[in-house]
Structures are given as structure tokens and as C-alpha cells.
Amino acid sequence: MSATVSKLRKHWVEIAWGAFSAVNIAVMFWLTSWETVPFHFVWVSLTIVYGFRVWRPRTTFIVLVAIVMLSGTALALAATRTHEPFDEVTEVPLMTSMFLAMVWHARRRQTAMEETRRHAEGEHRLLERQREFVRDASHELRTPITVARGHIELIRSSADGQMASDADVALDELTRLSRVSERLLLLAAAEDPVALRLNHVEVGPLLTGMADRWRPTAPRDWEVCIVSEGWVRADRERLELALDSMVENAVKCTHEGDRIAFVASAIGGDLSLEVVDGGIGVAPAHLEKLFDPFTRADDDRARASGGTGLGLAIVRTIAEAHGGSASADSVPGRGSTFRVTLPGFHPSPVPSSEPSAVLRTPSG
């Protein structure tokens, strides 16, 4: 019984159209003076219903043949009864041709949509396999990198001359490989449906703490500019990771004594967190792709400083996980501004107490 009801609900449009068409065809047979009105009702309603449903070819053929025979017979019978010319019967092949043209366009559009859907599903499966590979490869690389580092450090401690120099090169390359592995793992984890630990994060203490943490490690002119005091619900640990990646990029683009500033401001109901540097800047052609994985504005400089091209990709992923966005502005030779925008900014003191929440973020 339930299966029958479910089937009726699924095909209620066809059932309603069938009843409507049956009534109109009956009118054509019994009220011959009105035959053209119900005739057009039947054909127009058929076109509308097919536009929504796009039946299978066999179903379309059966319905079309039935409508042609019934409406053609009704028109011919009306012409016989009223002794009128049979000109109106020619409307049947005309309406049939128009309907078939519409069927052809609808089928072609449906085929294109199905091809697009299959392509999108294939891209999604490929992306998932790539993410799995990144996660697995990053995990598997940890042990051999650690073992290799230990052996080379032993060699380095007992070697001198050229062998010691070669050991230093090998250690540097292992350090670079370890950094790539760790960031790949971070990026893969950020793209997965993981839980964000949402708490009230105060803007002032967040940026002040970031500046205090970086000041001893990089001799720059550090500044903190809080344009808008307040708080936002965010995962503080991940937000600090995004800011660290932005600061690391700024440090690589500046020299000792150059200015690096943290700026917080409200844009409508959003919070804008910026890292502004007075460094070498980025060419406009590179700005759009800076947040893509493995993208580096200057390959030579990035390799010299150990850059992997993953830091800003992590920034964008974390920002989007919070429902926000990441962007950048730059003027070559004058510096750059890297920005994370988060929704739900509250320009008010943090509530005294409120439990943290867990937000499930969508993948990719």
C-alpha cells in the first residue's frame, strides 16, 4: 500500500495532466463546436508537462501517438458533424512537429546536464583520492625523514671537511622535506570535515599575543593597530595558525627593521584581520593565485628561504572553514597586505561565560 502511495505521489503531475487531457478530449468529442479550445489545451499542457519531466523516449512516443490519434479523430469527427472543411485537422501534424522540436531541445539539454554532472562527480572523486594520497603520503614520510635525519646528524657529528658540508646540505634538504610534509598534512586536515572548536576570541589579545610571540624571532618594526575592538566566534588555534602563515610570508618579504603590522577592523558585520608589511611586494599577475597550493610569487626567493607554497593555501582553507575568505593587496616595491575576513564580528565585550561549540565544516 505504501509503495503504491509513494508511486502516486512521485507521478502526481502526470496523473493530473492525464485527467485534465481526458476531460478536454471528451469535450472535443461531445461538444464539437468547442473542439479547437480543448485541442489547444491538450497540446499546450503536454508541452508544459514534458518541459518539467522529460520522459523517456518510449513513454514520450506512446503519449504522443495517443494524443495525435485522439485529437485528430476528434477534429475529423467535428468536421464531419458540422460539414466544415477538414483544414483544422492539419493542426495535428503542426502541433506534433512543434512538440517534437521541443522534445529534441529538451533531450539535448538533459544530455548536456548529465554529462556535466558526471564530469563534476569525476572531479570530486579525483579530488578525494588526491586528498587521501596527501594525507597518507604525509604520514608515511614522517618516519623515514626522522630516521634519515638521525643517521645524517651522527655522520655530521663525526665528520669534517667536505663530508661535513655534504651532511649539512642533506640536513637542510631533509628539513625542507619535513616542512613540506607537515604543511601538506595541515592542509589536508583543514580541508576535511573536521570539528572547529569555536570560542569567543577577543581581537586585541589575539593580535597583541601574535606580535609578542613573533617579535623575538624576527627583528622587524612590529605594530598592532586595533581599529575595532570586539570579539568573534572562532577556533583560536586554527586562526593563530592562519595568522602565523601570513606573518611568515611577511617576514620572508621584508628585511631587518622593516615594518610589519597587525590590523583589525570591522567591515559591516565582518571582522578583517590584516598582516601589513613594507617589503618587496607582489606583482599583480601573481596575486590571484597566491592562495592556491604550491604557488609562489618568486620561486628563487621562496626556495632560498625554505618556502613551500602551502602557507597561504592553509590561510584560505582555515578562513573558508569559518565561513570567511582570504585576500591580498600589494604594490611592488612598497609592500603587501594579506587579509582574513571572518563573519559574525561583535564590537562589544566578550560575554562572561558561554560554553564552546563544535562546528562541522564541509569538505573542499
**Percentage of the chain lying above the pLDDT 90 cut:** 19
Residue 65 lies in a domain: no
Across 51-78, average pLDDT: 86
pLDDT in tens, 160-179: 888 888 888 888 778 777 77
Q: In this structure, is residue 161 part of a structural domain? A: no
In a domain, 215, yes or no: yes
What kind and span of H or E run contains 276? Answer: strand 270-277
On whether the CB atoms of residues 167 and 159 are closer than 8 A, the answer is yes
Query: What is d(CA 313, CA 315) in angstroms, rounded to the nearest whole number?
Result: 5
Tens of pLDDT, residues 217-243? 888 899 999 998 999 999 898 898 889
Q: Give a yes or no: residue 78 inside a domain.
A: no
- Full domain range(s) for residue 256: 195-360
CATH number at residue 333: 3.30.565.10
Give the predicted TM-score (pTM) of the model. 0.55
What is the model's pLDDT at position 296?
A: 56
Helix (H/G/I), strand (E/B), else coil: 94: helix
90 is a domain residue: no
* Residue 154 pLDDT: 83
Asked if residues 78 and 28 have their Cβ atoms less than 8 Å apart, the reply is yes
pLDDT above 90 for 360: no
How many folded domains does the chain comprise? 1
As a three-state string, the secondary structure of 298-321 is CHHHHHHCCCCCCHHHHHHHHHHH
Which cell is 133 given? Answer: 594520497
Confidence of residue 190 (pLDDT cuts 50, 70, 90): low
In a domain, residue 317? The reply is: yes
Residue 16 lies in a domain: no
The answer to whether residue 237 sits within a structural domain is yes
